[in-house]
Structure formats: C-alpha cells, structure tokens
Chains A and B, each alone.
Chain A
Amino acid sequence: MGETNMTSAVKFSGVSRHFGAVRAVDDVDLDIRQGEFFAMLGPSGSGKTTCLRLIAGFEQPTAGTIEIFGDPTGSVPPYKRAVNTVFQDYALFPHLNVLDNVAYGLMIAGKGKAERHKEAEAALELVALPGYGTRKPSELSGGQRQRVALARALVNKPKVLLLDEPLGALDLKLREQMQEELKDLQRKLGITFVFVTHDQSEALSMADRVAVFNDGAIVQIGSPQDIYYRPQVRFVADFVGSSNVLPPSVVQPLTGRAAFASLRPEAIHIAQSGHPGRVSSVSFLGSATRVTVDLADVRVTVLCPKTQEIPKAGETIHLTWASDDMHLMEDAHG
C-alpha cells in the first residue's frame, strides 16, 4: 500500500500532560496513520481522554510535540485545527434546532444559509436522520443525539475525527448497531478516526489498531489480534478480555523461562491428569460455562463448551493446556 511514506495523521513525540503532581499523560510516543480507525483503550484515569483532548487542542502538552498531518500544533487553538470532536455528552446546542446544530461549523466558516443548510441536510442523511432538521435536540433519543453529534462533526470534513466514548450512554443493542455504522462510515469517508473507549470489546471489534493505556502511558499498541492473543504485559492480558495470568512458578517448569504468561480461558481443558485444582465456582453463560479453579499457585478461569460435562463447586479436577497457547510476556520480574 506504500503507507510507510505517508505523513502520520497524528504524531506524538514525547508528549506529557501533567496537572501539578498528577501525570495524566507521561512521555507518550504515538503514530496514527492516515485513514486508520484507531482506538485508545484503557480504564478511566489512564490518560486516553487527555490524549484526545491534546489532539483537539483543549489541553496543552507540558512537554513534547504533537503534529497533525505533519503540521506542528504548538499553540494552535482548537478553532484553527482541522480536527472535529464527537463529545461524550454530545454537547449539542440546546437553543438551536438539529439542522442549525449540524450547520454550526459551516455558519462559523461564513457559508451562506442555503448552502450550509443543504450540506447539513446531506450530513443528516449520512447518519440516517433525514428530515429531523426542525427538531430540537431535547426532542431526540440518546441514539439520535449521538448521530446528530456525528453529523455536526463530519459536515466540516475534518482530517481527523475524534470520538470520546461516543457510545457510552447507549444501551447494548443500539451500541452494537452504532459500532457497525461507525465502522462503515469510516470506510466510506476514509477519514482518520481516533476513538476513546474503556470497553475492550468495542475497541477490538471496530479498530484497525488499538493503543492500550495505563497510568498515563501506552503499554501496548497493535492490531486487535495482537492485543488479544499476544499481550506483552500483564496489564493488557488482564484488562483486555479475561486472560489468565500464570506466575513464573507455574510457567518455569513448563517452558524453562521465569516469566509471566497469559493463557486464554478457552485454551484450558479439563482432563484425567494434569494440574490438579479445586473448583471454586461455576457460572452458566449460555453458550458456555465459566469455571473458576484454584490451582496450587494461581486461580484460573476455564471456559467449558456446553457439550462437556461440567464439574461442581468443591470438586477436585485436573487441567491441561497446550504450551503453545501460553503466551510469554515481557515483564517477567514484574
């Protein structure tokens, strides 16, 4: 694809944002490619939202530089940046109707009324809300407001679209539908999307690449498959999905290396012999059953397919797994 020669859509070099003694973002390097659907994933307070606000210009870095399409942002104020944001609370203007909300950026840019209303109507069509222009934001449902916020940002044809937990307030079904639509929209428009979320399944299902944040730093960047199957640190194994983390005392006899390893619950099998352990709890999940087992040094979760016989709590069972399924992690001494 020749992408290597392209300028990054967003480039962080040694970026920090400290609030007094709090290091919200600490020495972050980041390269977001053009046309990429990029997710920033992490628990609350991990610095992902601050990174987004740094790109938008609502925050200034205390150290380091940020480039947007090769242009250093320096002290460029938000209103001069070619990025637009979909806010977590949508931040629709309550005194304007939907059409004027969407046309706001065009109005500020000085476009005539007829022209901006036409473009706003087209943007509303893009987010599947044609004909909603005359309503007030207060008359819309949460999902509809979300679409209006999206249209209001997209109508300005930003180089980068920033989305701050945009699906957080929606119920599960609507969220899954919007995930599909966002992904389609991004493919259709080819705009770089930077998406902040604390929901790992959302990040994995939508993004081309995911950056996992913890304590103001990026602990791993990679494709969803990388993040899911090949976590490099314990935090990622633990936070993304629900991998078991095996301590060196279990890993060393099997591999000869004193390292932590991640092991996915579905890779563990109940067998006649192997690692003995006591079943501590059993929960039925529908398509499978989750069994928690206390081994000698560690508690692990096992996902049993429904075809299998399910042990009862308190029973002693044996577990096996293929050593290939164990993924050794870097921070062996951590």
Chain B
Amino acid sequence: MADGVLVRISDTLWRHPRLLVTLLLAPPVLWLGVIYLGSLFALLAQSFFSIDEFSGLINYEFTLKTYGELFKAHNLDIIVRTVTMAAAVTVGAAIIGFPVAYYAARYARGKWKALFYLGVMLPLWSSYLVKVYSWKLILAKEGILNWLFETLHLSWLLNAYLAIPVIGGNSLSVSSTGTFLVFLYVWLPFMILPIQASLERVPHSMLEASGDLGATPAQAFRTVLLPLALPGVIAGSIFTFSLTLGDYIIPQIVGSSRRFIGQAVYQYQGTAGNIPLAAAFAVVPILIMGLYLWWAKRKGAFDAL
C-alpha cells in the first residue's frame, strides 16, 4: 500500500511540474524572505527610532535624528576609515589575485590545478580567529617580521615606515598597515576564485587575435583581457569590499584603537545599548554596496556577461 502512495505522489508531481518546483523552492524562499529579509527590515526599522539620552530608553517614534548622528565628526571618521580600508583591501586583493588567477586559468593543468585550488582554499579551512591571532604574532614587535628586518639590518626602514602617521604605529600589529595585511590575507581567496572563473571563459585565441592585430602584451591586457575578466573582478571585489566593511574582529585584534563600522555596530548594540544608532551604522555598508554595484553596472562591468 505504501508503495502505491509513493507512486501516486510521483505521478502527481510528474503531471504538475510547477507544483514540484514550488515545493522545492518553498523552504529556501521562506528562509530568505522571512528570516533573512525580515530581520533586515526589522533592523532598518530600528534605525528610524531614537534613544533618549537621559533615560537610555528607545523612543519608538519615526525620526531621522539617528541618521543625523552618523554625520557627527567622530562617526563620519569611522565611516570614512572603514570605506578607505575596504577600498584599499579590494584593490590590493585584485592586484595580488589577478596574476594567481591568470596562471591557474591559463597554464595550470591536472595536478597543478588541484594544487592551486588546495593552496587558495586551504586558509579557509582553519579557524578565522586562529589565522588572525597568528598574524598578530607575525606582526608583533617580538614577531618574525621584526626579527627579519633586524637580521637584515633594515630596522631603520621599518621604523621609518611606522613613524608615518595614520598607517604607522608602535609596531605593525597595532598599526592600520597590520589591519590591512590581515584583511588582505583573509579575504584573498574570495577575490582569486571569481577572477579565475571568469578568466577560464576567455578563449586563448582572444589574446592571440589582439596580438595578431598589433597589440603589445600590455595593450592586450588593457583592451581585451581586463574587460573580459571584469565581471570576475567585480564579483571578487563585492566579496572583499563588503566583508571588510562589515568585519569587527580583525580590527579589534590587529590594529590601532581607531574603530571601524563593524566595531561601532557591535559596541552600540551591546555595551552602549543604542540599538537605533547601531542599526543606522549597519545601513551604511548596504547603501555603499548598492552605490558601488550601480556604478559598476553603469561603467559596463557586466557587459561581457
């Protein structure tokens, strides 16, 4: 009998393919729609409330006052610092990631390709915290990098660099440069993989054709390879940019005491109990990413898709 029921279900689903698709899609759509988007909108709603400065209680009335707070000098500083860092990490990751991805897409075959994937993915297998703390040790004053500079009698160079305001500090592990290096390391795979995927789809004859038509390798890169790989670069930059915008752990462990957006959100919703301001801060990366995508589309970054 049970067999008969299963067969009847199969028959019904086969006759009604739409029903099958609906059943398959319902759980993920509910998850995305209710739990993910729902909580996002709840967060957005919070940002339009304000906090009573004396009682510390939330005032549930619509106001743009909290957004106004964002434009105060110390908050604006946090936003500018975070965006600058995210942009620097993205550009750095693209510059380092592109040659690696190009090699993997163009030359690596069989065993070497497997090795490439392993090399790129391996860092993702260990805990994020372990990686960040390892970098803290590498960059610390007693760390291996400092030791290397001393051994090479180049301490003066490192010290001169650390003396530069903003990017310098007492040691690399408490400088913005340190934060930058750790971000770069942690997010690099997210840049390499999409670029590699987009380069795989560029036939080699494209580059031969451009050389055949007189383009030097540099010109071929600028006029053919880069435009064709751009969707991959943009996809990678969406990862590195948004991951950096939202992170609050790396700048807390490695870097100066100057705060990033993620840390601000963490502190305002936690210790400070200022949920509305935390929500307003959380909206900033969403807006920035929206603007970035709009700009990328207008620049034709997705034309080759």
Q: How far is the CA of A57 from the CA of B303 in the complex (A)?
A: 31
B208 touches A58 (CB 8 A): yes
Residues of A within 8 A of B303 (CB): 95
Closest to A81 in B: B212
The yes or no answer to B228 lying at the interface (CB within 8 A) is yes
Q: How far is the CA of A105 from the CA of B210 in the complex (A)?
A: 8
A95 touches B227 (CB 8 A): yes
A108 touches B215 (CB 8 A): yes
Partner of B211, one of A77, A89, A95: A77
The yes or no answer to B55 lying at the interface (CB within 8 A) is no
Scoring A83, A95, A107, A109 by chain B CB atoms within 10 A of each residue's CB, the highest score goes to A95
- Binary contact track B200-233/A, C-beta < 8 Å → 1, others 0: 0001011011111111100100011001100000
The yes or no answer to B304 lying at the interface (CB within 8 A) is yes
The yes or no answer to A262 lying at the interface (CB within 8 A) is no
Q: How far is the CA of A57 from the CA of B211 in the complex (A)?
A: 9
B205 touches A156 (CB 8 A): no
Interface set, chain A 25-83, CB cutoff 8 A to B: 56-58, 77-79, 83
Q: How far is the CA of A301 from the CA of B214 in the complex (A)?
A: 50
Residues of B within 8 A of A153 (CB): 212-213
Closest to A53 in B: B208
Q: How far is the CA of A78 from the CA of B205 in the complex (A)?
A: 13
Partner of B205, one of A79, A87, A105, A109: A87
Q: How far is the CA of A94 from the CA of B211 in the complex (A)?
A: 16
- Binary contact track B172-207/A, C-beta < 8 Å → 1, others 0: 000000000000000000000000000000010110
26 interchain pairs, CB-CB under 8 A: A57-B211, A58-B211, A77-B211, A78-B211, A78-B212, A79-B211, A79-B212, A79-B213, A84-B212, A84-B213, A85-B208, A87-B208, A87-B209, A91-B205, A91-B206, A92-B209, A93-B206, A93-B210, A93-B224, A94-B304, A95-B227, A95-B228, A95-B303, A104-B210, A108-B210, A156-B214
Interface set, chain B 53-99, CB cutoff 8 A to A: none
Q: How far is the CA of A78 from the CA of B219 in the complex (A)?
A: 13
B209 touches A85 (CB 8 A): yes
New A-B contacts (14) at CB < 8 Å, excluding given A94-B228, A156-B213: A56-B208, A58-B208, A77-B211, A79-B212, A85-B209, A85-B212, A87-B208, A88-B205, A89-B203, A91-B206, A94-B304, A104-B210, A108-B215, A108-B223
- Binary contact track A102-114/B, C-beta < 8 Å → 1, others 0: 0011011100000
Residues of A within 8 A of B215 (CB): 79, 104, 108
Known: A78-B211, A95-B228. A89 touches B205 (CB 8 A): yes
Q: How far is the CB of B276 from chain A (nearest CB, A)?
A: 45
Residues of A within 8 A of B211 (CB): 57-58, 77-79
- Interface residues of chain A, those whose CB is within 8 Å of chain B, are 56-58, 77-79, 83-85, 87-89, 91-95, 104-105, 107-109, 152-153, 156
Residues of A within 8 A of B216 (CB): 79
- Binary contact track B151-189/A, C-beta < 8 Å → 1, others 0: 000000000000000000000000000000000000000
B203 touches A91 (CB 8 A): yes
Scoring A91, A105, A109, A156 by chain B CB atoms within 10 A of each residue's CB, the highest score goes to A91
Residues of B within 8 A of A107 (CB): 223
Q: How far is the CA of A152 from the CA of B210 in the complex (A)?
A: 11
Residues of A within 8 A of B223 (CB): 104, 107-108
Residues of A within 8 A of B304 (CB): 94-95
Q: How far is the CB of A155 from chain B (nearest CB, A)?
A: 9
A104 touches B213 (CB 8 A): yes
Known: A89-B203, A95-B304. A78 touches B228 (CB 8 A): no
Residues of B within 8 A of A109 (CB): 214
Which 6 pairs of residues, A with B, have the shortest CB-CB distance? Answer: A105-B213, A91-B209, A91-B205, A78-B211, A108-B214, A95-B304
B214 touches A79 (CB 8 A): yes
A108 touches B212 (CB 8 A): no
Closest to A85 in B: B212
Q: How far is the CA of A85 from the CA of B214 in the complex (A)?
A: 11
Q: How far is the CB of B152 from chain A (nearest CB, A)?
A: 39
Residues of A within 8 A of B212 (CB): 56, 58, 78-79, 83-85, 153
Q: How far is the CA of A322 from the CA of B62 in the complex (A)?
A: 106
- Binary contact track B266-305/A, C-beta < 8 Å → 1, others 0: 0000000000000000000000000000000000100110
Residues of B within 8 A of A85 (CB): 208-209, 212
Residues of A within 8 A of B214 (CB): 79, 105, 108-109, 156
Closest to B216 in A: A79
Q: How far is the CB of B228 from chain A (nearest CB, A)?
A: 6
Q: How far is the CA of A93 from the CA of B213 in the complex (A)?
A: 12
Q: How far is the CA of A57 from the CA of B205 in the complex (A)?
A: 13
Closest to B207 in A: A91
